[in-house]
């Protein structure tokens, strides 16, 4: 591995020798004011002058890549950091398997590669936009800091993709980089590219579910792109993954703390039936069935991000060596998949059935399967908290056919167990599975800010340990300075 030191002196911290790449440096410096403009318009609402205890990437050495300090968000050092180049890296899969990894864009795949970069890039600012109003209702300064940490890092991920566009895709790359600042989450005229990134993140439970489920889609996509034969994309994604881990940590522990607080409050009040919803809500905590409904919502929206189960685009990207499978390098097969098959869940004669499809065409399905397995791990940990409290309830991932808008199951309605419902049954039972207006109102009523150092809102337990090992009364955000 060769490690290029990070140049931290200029406007744009980087380890890509930007100082000697005048064309790209100028292009990025030109893009910079637009980015800051976007951040001020569409980034966190308020708190832009607050000092936030943030982690900043200052290197790419796995042992010490970040430092923590108080920073005003607009002054965050958004840098371009690629994981170290691996000596003599080969293309690990597809029809070019075994050839030297590309350091330049292979001409025949230019359009496909650009599209992959743009789609990934579009998700990064989108989630910042979706979460922009949450600071105002933060349940603690600790949580507020975590929100802003996720936000600035999604901003950095946008930089990462924009660097690739500016460096490797000439004029069209520049246009795409501009367009990434123009689209807006949820805007009817110029929405973000993928559905889940145009949905609202109305409250903090949604934020935790989003970072658990939807940032985990990000992880899966980045893992698949980290395998790319186009080496700069692979290196970019490998470093983004180190940051992404924290986002899912925020989601997993956030939901854990919600569940923990609910269980504690139920025990204190002597309530053992999780379905005594009114009684539980009177305690100022979120009842477990509502937590389940939120999980149903965010899980199903995120599944749509994996696209159609059977996809020629996915097959082409794999065949070309641009996008691999989840941890391709750890899989033991021919890495070409020309002959194999893969079982795909399909709607056949009105029933959900497994059907063998050519493995190359079924790559989206496969990535989605890997994703579902990855999701289950944290759900099991949530359920441990509930079990330890002795409450007869378990969070369950809904069936993949439930509440879908893309792919095989978008044509039908299914319940959370995958049973097909008539349109009338679906309408009638929808709020058994997904948050109702009353559920949303209740959650919203709980979203009262708690900005006192070391204190937490009624509905969430404190974390086990602080960020950067800080004590419980640490002032993660200095709002007084705002």
The residues of the shown chain that bind Fe ion, judged by CB under 5 A, are: 124, 154, 157, 215, 218, 244, 247
Considering beta carbons, is residue 184 or 247 the nearer one to Fe ion?
Answer: 247
Torsion of CA 16, 18, 22, 24, to 10 degrees: 60
Residue 1 CB neighbour total at 10 angstroms: 8
**Closer to Fe ion by Cβ: residue 154 or 252:** 154
393 touches 386 (CB < 8 A): yes
When the beta carbons of 218 and 407 are compared against Fe ion, the nearer one is: 218
Cβ closest to Fe ion, residue 215 vs residue 223: 215
Task: For the CB of residue 154, give the shortest distance to Fe ion in the complex, in Å.
Answer: 5
**Residue 196 to residue 303: CA distance in whole angstroms:** 9
Dihedral angle over CA of 445, 446, 452, 453, nearest 10? -150
Residue number with CB closer to Fe ion (218 or 274): 218
CA–CA distance, 137 with 159 (Å, rounded to integer): 28
Question: Is the CB of 234 or the CB of 262 nearer to Fe ion?
Answer: 234
Question: What's the closest the beta carbon of residue 449 comes to Fe ion, in angstroms?
Answer: 24
Query: C-beta of 243: minimal distance to Fe ion in Å?
Result: 7
User: Strand pairing partners for 358?
Assistant: 341
> Do 280 and 393 touch, CB atoms closer than 8 A?
no
Burial category of 424 from C-beta neighbours within 10 Å (exposed 0-12, middle 13-18, buried 19 and up): exposed
Query: Cα dihedral angle (438, 442, 443, 446), rounded to 10 degrees?
Result: 170
CB 414 within 8 A of CB 352: yes
Q: How far is the CB of 248 from Fe ion (least distance, A)?
A: 8
Burial of 69 (0-12, 13-18, 19+ CB in 10 A): exposed
For residue 194, CA distances in Å to 121, 122, 127, 407 come to: 11, 8, 11, 14
Nearer to Fe ion, 242 or 419 (CB): 242
Q: Which residues lie across from 52 on neighbouring strands?
A: 71, 477
Between residues 96 and 184, which has the closer beta carbon with respect to Fe ion? 184
How many beta carbons lie within 10 A of that of residue 356, not counting itself? 11
Select 42 or 434, whichever has its Cβ closest to Fe ion: 42
**CA angle in degrees (0–180, nearest 5) for 388-275-381:** 30
Burial class (CB in 10 A: 0-12, 13-18, 19+), 130: buried
């Amino acid at each position: 591995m060769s490690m290029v030191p990070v140049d931290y002196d200029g406007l744009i911290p980087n380890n890509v020798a930007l100082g000697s790449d005048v064309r790209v440096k100028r292009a990025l410096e030109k893009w910079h004011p637009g980015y800051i403009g976007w951040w001020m318009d569409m980034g966190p609402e308020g708190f832009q002058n607050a000092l936030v205890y943030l982690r900043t990437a200052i290197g790419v050495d796995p042992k010490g890549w970040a430092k923590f300090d108080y920073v005003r968000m607009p002054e965050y050092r958004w840098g371009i950091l690629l994981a170290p180049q691996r000596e003599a890296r080969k293309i690990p899969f597809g029809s070019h398997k075994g050839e030297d990894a590309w350091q330049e864009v292979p001409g025949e795949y230019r359009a496909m590669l650009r599209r992959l970069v743009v789609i990934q890039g579009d998700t990064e600012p989108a989630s910042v936009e979706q979460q922009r109003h949450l600071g105002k209702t933060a349940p603690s300064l600790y949580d507020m800091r975590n929100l802003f940490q996720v936000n600035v890092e999604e901003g950095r991920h946008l930089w990462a993709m924009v660097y690739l566009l500016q460096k490797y895709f000439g004029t069209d790359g520049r246009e795409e980089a501009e367009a990434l600042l123009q689209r807006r989450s949820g805007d009817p005229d110029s929405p973000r590219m993928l559905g889940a990134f145009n949905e609202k993140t109305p409250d903090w439970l949604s934020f935790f579910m989003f970072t658990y489920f939807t940032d985990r889609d990000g992880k899966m996509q980045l893992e698949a792109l980290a395998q790319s034969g186009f080496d700069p994309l692979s290196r970019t994604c490998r470093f983004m993954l180190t940051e992404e881990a924290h986002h899912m940590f925020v989601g997993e522990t956030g939901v854990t703390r919600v569940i923990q607080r609910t269980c504690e409050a139920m025990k204190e009040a002597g309530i053992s039936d999780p379905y005594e919803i009114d009684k539980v809500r009177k305690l100022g905590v979120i009842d477990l069935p509502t937590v389940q409904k939120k999980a149903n919502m965010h899980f199903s929206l995120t599944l749509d991000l994996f696209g159609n189960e059977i996809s020629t685009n996915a097959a082409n990207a794999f065949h070309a060596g641009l996008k691999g499978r989840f941890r391709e390098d750890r899989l033991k097969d021919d890495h070409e998949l020309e002959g194999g098959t893969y079982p795909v869940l399909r709607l056949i004669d009105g029933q959900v059935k497994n059907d063998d499809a050519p493995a190359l065409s079924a790559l989206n399905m496969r990535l989605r399967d890997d994703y579902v397995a990855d999701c289950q791990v944290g759900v099991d940990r949530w359920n441990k908290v509930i079990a330890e409290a002795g409450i007869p309830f378990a969070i369950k991932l809904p069936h993949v056919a439930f509440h879908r808008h893309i792919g095989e199951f978008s044509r039908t309605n299914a319940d959370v167990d995958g049973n097909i419902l008539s349109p009338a049954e679906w309408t009638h039972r929808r709020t058994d599975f997904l948050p109702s207006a009353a559920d949303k109102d209740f959650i919203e009523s709980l979203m009262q800010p708690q900005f006192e150092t070391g204190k937490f809102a009624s509905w969430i337990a404190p974390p086990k340990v602080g960020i950067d090992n800080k004590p419980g009364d640490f002032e993660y955000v200095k709002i007084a300075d705002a």
